[in-house]
Amino acid sequence: MIVLKNENSQVGIDAGELVSYVVNDHEFIHQKGSPGWGSADTEMFPIIGPVNEAGFRVSTPKGDAIQDQHGHLRQMQYQLESQTDASAVFTKQYKTGTEVFNAKFPEKSTEEALTWPYDFRFEKSFKLKSDSLEINFKITGEKGMPFMLGYHPTFKLYSQSPIIEANRNEITLDDILAVGSKAFQVPDCTSITLKDTKEITIETEGFGNFMCWTEVRNMVCIEPISFYPSAVDQNELHSGFQKLGDSAHFKVVLKPEV
């Protein structure tokens, strides 16, 4: 466990996963072991969304790739590159065609191994500031590689009626629960505020959209995404790809109520 600290806040990072963000003794992050989800955050890359109805295949310019829900990056282990009292950098490196074991096999998937026909390097960095936590993502790899990116943090809820405010609209927890596994779409949005017993704002660069998901009342996932996967049939998921240039950069800033 890596711990970042300053005068009024503390961040816990477990093997690249954000498992705690405490500000003035208030925990904002969903805790493992609590009902709802067994993780606290993850990344969705190089695809977002399920592919079971498409035979676990996603079309790319180099042919079909074998993928499972939200891509194979989250099945890989982060390596710690560097750390200070207020920052940490983690990376994952993938080589074309390498088989990655699928943790969903065999209970929830027919595919034991996932593959991708491109090399890439994925960097996730944390920087704790006096008033916020900044999380940056940098993707490098083969020029023209298709990809989509989603970040999947989960926030602990304390009240019975939290409100999510986005683009001057209010979204209730019941709104999100009603959508189910598809996740509630928040298009054309770069900033969302979760209003609970304490407020936290999620500001983004590079993603452009959000989706929100939960199946319980004690947590909610507020997920910056480059593409909303339920907008298309699963066999058309490739229509949501963007293409990698020399590199791609994305940012998420968590700004808690002080």
What letter would DSSP give residue 173?
H
CB atoms within 10 A of CB 33: 6
The CATH number assigned to the domain holding 248 equals 2.70.98.10
201-213 confidence digits (pLDDT tens): 999 999 999 999 9
Contact 192, 222 (CB under 8 A): yes
Q: What are phi and psi of 182, to 5 degrees?
A: -65, -25
Tokens representing 54 are 């498409």
- pLDDT tens, residue by residue, 213-235: 999 999 999 999 999 999 999 99
Q: How far is CA 113 from CA 97, 101, 103, in A?
A: 10, 5, 9
How many structural domains compose the chain? Answer: 1
Q: Which residue type, as a one-letter code, is found at position 113?
A: A
Give start and end residues of each alpha helix (H) in 89-160: none
Burial 35-65 (b: 16+ CB within 10 A, else e): ebbebbbbbbbbbbbbbeebebbbbbeeeeb
Distance, in Å, from the CA atom of 226 to the CA atom of 228, rounded to the nearest integer, reads: 7
pLDDT in tens, 172-207: 999 999 999 999 999 999 999 999 999 999 999 999
Residue 87: which domain range?
A: 2-256
Residue 162 preceded by cis peptide, ω within 30: no
Whether the Cβ atoms of residue 183 and residue 227 lie closer than 8 Å to each other: no
Tell me if 45 sits within 8 A of 73, measured CB to CB: yes
Instruction: Pick the closest to residue 117 from 58, 191, 202 (CA basis).
Output: 58
- Contact between 45 and 94 under an 8 Å Cβ cutoff? The reply is no
List the pLDDT tens digit at each of the 258 positions of the chain: 999 999 999 999 999 999 999 999 999 999 999 999 999 999 999 999 999 999 999 999 999 999 999 999 999 999 999 999 999 999 999 999 999 999 999 999 999 999 999 999 999 999 999 999 999 999 999 999 999 999 999 999 999 999 999 999 999 999 999 999 999 999 999 999 999 999 999 999 999 999 999 999 999 999 999 999 999 999 999 999 999 999 999 999 999 986
Query: What pTM was computed for the model?
Result: 0.96
> Structure tokens of 83?
């750390």
